[in-house]
Amino acid sequence: MSINNYLHLLDEMAVFVRVVETGSFSETAKEIGTTPSAVSRKISRLEKALSARLLHRTTRKLRLSESGEAMFNHCQNMVTAAKSAMSISDLHKDEPEGIIRVSVPKAVGRFVLHPHMAEFLARYPKIDLQVVLEDKYVDLIEDRVDLVIRITDRPSPGLMGKELMKIDHIICASPQYLQKHGMPTHPRDLANHSCIYLGETPADTRWKFKRGTESVQVDIHGRYAANHTVVRLDAALNHIGIASLPYFTARTALQQGKCIQVLPEWDFISSYYGSAWLLYSPTRYLPLKLKVFIDYLVERMRQEPELKARKQN
């Protein structure tokens, strides 16, 4: 196929990508300002040029054919490349604008990211922000997000990024619980307490601690486990037991005296470890809207008065 034969299909390829992404001819038509029948004709022209059916259509949904899946990957790469090319124009804009989609683990989003977003939106009135709170692995391309925040000690080598904060972990309990059951003075004392733990794997009941060169592992037990930090914090506040938590989750409760850090002279070694990294696809020309968001978030994390638990010796 000569260059003239496929250049006139670039628009059809871009429309095909949006049809797959929206799952709807009518929604795509609404986005680009045309009619569903016009969108359908574009897809038909692309299928005719390729001599292959790309979409299986039913009255309720669209499904990619085998050829359609392969074509979608190529066309999506084309659209991504076009966006990168167009982002060069951001260099000449006086003010950043557009939509930013950022994926972030639920607890980090609620306690770390969200408190700073009102100021960001006020500072940049032409930027819209969509925060996707999701604990599962999110792929930048497949899930169509601009930025991801991941908790890791080994950021993906294929991505660019900024380290935002270390994730420090503690164990804590309410004053009422500790008054009734006593304050542990050594990690081994936890075996006699009700502990609130993650509960996703058997290893979650083996708590590890380190102090200098001394390491201790304790088999804990308790009547309550939850794989969400907010739930474990609430359980601690309701005097159920001693909870394992990221420090940023418990910080406010600790400052207000609603929770007390247990064994503060010991480092609690959690399986949920590493740093919060802000990651994005490598590119020579980062869109201005993403650049100001990244710079803003790094700046705010550096200004945070407390992101780590205070250790006692």
- What tens digit of pLDDT does each residue of 97-142 get? 999 999 999 999 999 999 999 999 999 999 999 999 988 888 887 7
Final residue before a domain boundary, out of 56, 72, 88: 88
Sign of CA dihedral 149, 152, 156, 159: positive
Q: In this predicted structure, what is the pLDDT of residue 98?
A: 93
Which string of b and e fits 54-86 if b means at least 16 CB within 10 Å?
A: bbeeeeeebeeeeebeebbeebbeebeeeeeee
Helix axes 25-32, 10-22, angle to 10 degrees: 120
Helix axes 10-22, 36-50, angle to 10 degrees: 120
Q: In this predicted structure, what is the pLDDT of residue 3?
A: 47
What single-letter DSSP state applies at residue 123? H
In this structure, the answer to whether residues 285 and 142 fall within a common structural domain is yes
| Per-residue pLDDT tens digits for 299-313 | 998 877 554 555 544
Q: Is residue 179 part of a domain?
A: yes
Q: Is residue 312 part of a domain?
A: no
Write the burial class of residue 295 (CB in 10 Å: 0-12 exposed, 13-18 middle, 19+ buried).
exposed
CA 247 from chain center: how many Å? 18
Q: In this predicted structure, what is the pLDDT of residue 290?
A: 94
Residue bearing the bigger pLDDT, 223 or 21: 223
The structure tokens listed for 304 are 């945070």
The least confident of 47-51, 144-148, 263-267, 301-305 is 301-305
Q: In this predicted structure, what is the pLDDT of residue 219?
A: 96
- The CA-based angle 185-188-192, given to 5 degrees, is 90
pLDDT at 237 over 90: yes
Sign of CA dihedral 86, 88, 94, 100: positive
In this structure, what CATH number is given to the domain that contains residue 219? 3.40.190.290
Contact status, residue 86 vs residue 285, Cβ threshold 8 Å: no
In this structure, the answer to whether residues 210 and 270 fall within a common structural domain is yes
Final residue before a domain boundary, out of 37, 61, 88: 88
Residue bearing the bigger pLDDT, 175 or 287: 175
Instruction: Give the chain's domain count.
Output: 2
Q: In this predicted structure, what is the pLDDT of residue 313?
A: 45
Name the strand (E) or helix (H) holding 171. strand 169-173
Residue 299 belongs to domain spanning: 94-307
Q: Report percent pLDDT > 90 for the chain.
A: 50
Q: In this predicted structure, what is the pLDDT of residue 208?
A: 96
In this structure, what CATH number is given to the domain that contains residue 13? 1.10.10.10
In this structure, the answer to whether residues 129 and 264 fall within a common structural domain is yes
Closest alpha carbon to 300 in 91, 84, 145, 123? 123
Q: Within the chain, where are the H helices?
A: 3-7, 10-22, 25-32, 36-50, 66-86, 106-108, 117-123, 175-181, 229-237, 247-255, 288-303
| Per-residue pLDDT tens digits for 243-284 | 999 999 999 999 999 999 999 999 998 877 788 999 998 876
The least confident of 39-53, 182-196, 198-212 is 39-53
Q: Report percent pLDDT > 70 for the chain.
A: 89
Q: Once rounded to an integer, what is the mean pLDDT over residues 287-302?
A: 93
Closest alpha carbon to 108 in 271, 277, 264? 277
Backbone angles phi and psi of 196, in degrees to 5: -105, 115
DSSP readout, 213-253? TEEEEEE-EEEEE-SSHHHHHHHHHTTS-EEEEEHHHHHHH
Q: In this predicted structure, what is the pLDDT of residue 102?
A: 96
In this structure, the answer to whether residues 83 and 105 fall within a common structural domain is no
Strands 169-173 and 242-246: antiparallel
In this structure, the answer to whether residues 213 and 80 fall within a common structural domain is no
Q: In this predicted structure, what is the pLDDT of residue 96?
A: 92
Q: In this predicted structure, what is the pLDDT of residue 152?
A: 86
Contact status, residue 52 vs residue 45, Cβ threshold 8 Å: no
Write the burial class of residue 305 (CB in 10 Å: 0-12 exposed, 13-18 middle, 19+ buried).
exposed
In this structure, the answer to whether residues 51 and 101 fall within a common structural domain is no
Q: In this predicted structure, what is the pLDDT of residue 21?
A: 85
Q: Where are the beta strands (DSSP E) in 98-159?
A: 98-104, 127-133, 147-152
Residue bearing the bigger pLDDT, 262 or 95: 262
Q: Once rounded to an integer, what is the mean pLDDT over residues 166-193?
A: 96
Q: In this predicted structure, what is the pLDDT of residue 1?
A: 45
Q: Is residue 209 part of a domain?
A: yes
Q: Once rounded to an integer, what is the mean pLDDT over residues 177-184?
A: 97
In this structure, the answer to whether residues 79 and 100 fall within a common structural domain is no
The least confident of 22-31, 57-66, 148-157, 222-231 is 57-66
pLDDT at 291 over 70: yes
Residue bearing the bigger pLDDT, 140 or 169: 169
